[in-house]
Structure 1
């Protein structure tokens, strides 16, 4: 990683400036995602699920407050202050992860008949909460994975997220939107294949962690992610303009677009480190 001159953890190479910047970047992005998950889950509950609705609303307010607090800080904020903030947010992420897994259990044991949250969607949101929680733990511990490990691990995680998004879009579009449904299904198949390839590369570690293989891996994923991101943007715009038939909330359409855009940023960051020789 590229660092500054003020060391936070001399043994790991994590610096104060890097720690604060990365912590705020992660929290600003993922706190908004967690807040929106709370809304989407609430919208999927039945009217009689008052306790679950109340819990979802509490998480919405909690992560809204976290998001606002994160934006009140800047890169010059005291690292120890950020470390304490990370711990608080990590606990909030752990709590919403537990809530999501509880909801998943209720769905899978048929205790919420007639609710509108897909089990895969709830599992999907819980995986993102767990990712967020682990990211904050790693930051506070000053741990950074080696570049080859990070490239493969992050791509395995996000490729599955992208595959899920394509499936959700295909199921939430009105069946009469046949062409768009077909496009979504094709993206789902494409990302399933990319995920299988990523897991194959993961199982071949460490022999698979060569610069040429990883560079090709990133290039291939970038092309597909960019195409999916553009499709999501088009779908979002059409939904906002009421030009297609679906039960997709406009905020959900924007939500999945932002996650694809973030994946592209991560791919570009990895590619710059891999080809530029900086770490």
Structure 2
């Protein structure tokens, strides 16, 4: 390989590192910011310390989100590496905060609060995913394609299953048709999670292109249906056409996460077809 070719490859890898880092931070910092708001809204009036901590994380991730949008894909990779480390520390902080809150709920020290234990656990899993992703990017440790496909789908399928459960519980019980639809989505994604876990336990023998391609196709069909349901619910909530205690921002939040999952599925399929993964 010529020296010019090596330099070109290094530039391409650096550019990809910067673009992927900023994409992850822009998406997940907004998610973390909104988690802070949702948790704060679920605390009791007397939980002043927890409310203050949630507010601090809200402003921290708001600043991170703004900073990420001030940077471009032409930024210095070393600057982005330092930024990733800073954001990883913030993600670790909110992860630990969420686990602390979960512990308080499960030991009945927040009676009357409105944060479901599963919701708090759900948000902590996303914070953990975010911080691990930034660490992988900084260390250049990206999983082989087959491993990445299965692991990412196990993670996101469970996220989608949780969303369906939250929607079903936060809709007014009188919205019987929508509650039934949410329950059906919950059951569908629970089955997809189990299928993904089964595929994972069969590794490496299960990591064939035909099986992975079918796996992605099947998941896409269900995610598209759930995404469309979330979009409809979001629009109805914003127009005050259904009864629920779902915050309009939460409705949009879960819709964006479904869109994110579809983007990841599409990326995996294109890499699977091209037999490359970076």
Above 0.5 in TM-score?
Answer: yes
Higher helix share: 2
CA separation in 1, counterparts of 2:166 and 2:229? Answer: 14
The aligned residue for residue 58 of structure 2 is 60
CA separation in 2, counterparts of 1:96 and 1:45? Answer: 16
Displacement, 1:275?
1.3
Alignment counterpart, residue 85 of structure 1, candidates 83, 88, 92: 83
The aligned residue for residue 240 of structure 1 is 238
Aligned-residue CA RMSD in angstroms?
1.0
CA separation in 2, counterparts of 1:85 and 1:245? Answer: 42
Alignment counterpart, residue 173 of structure 1, candidates 171, 174, 182: 171
Alignment counterpart, residue 92 of structure 2, candidates 91, 94, 100: 94
Displacement, 1:15?
1.1
CA separation in 2, counterparts of 1:154 and 1:140? Answer: 19
Task: Judge conservation of contact 1:6–1:17 (CA < 8 Å) in 2.
Answer: no
**Residues 148-185 of structure 1 deviation map (CA, whole Å, 9 limit, x = unaligned):** 00000000000000000000000000000000000000
Alignment counterpart, residue 221 of structure 2, candidates 220, 223, 234: 223
Alignment counterpart, residue 16 of structure 1, candidates 10, 14, 17: 14
Give TM-score, length-normalised by structure 2: 0.96
The aligned residue for residue 155 of structure 2 is 157
Structure 2 unaligned spans of 5+ = 1-6
CA separation in 2, counterparts of 1:160 and 1:91? Answer: 25
**Residues 195-244 of structure 1 deviation map (CA, whole Å, 9 limit, x = unaligned):** 00000000000000000000000000000000000000000000000000
Give TM-score, length-normalised by structure 1: 0.96
Alignment counterpart, residue 194 of structure 1, candidates 168, 192, 200: 192
Residues matched between the structures, number: 271
3-state SS, counterpart of residue 8 of structure 2: coil
**Residues 54-75 of structure 1 deviation map (CA, whole Å, 9 limit, x = unaligned):** 0000000000000000000000
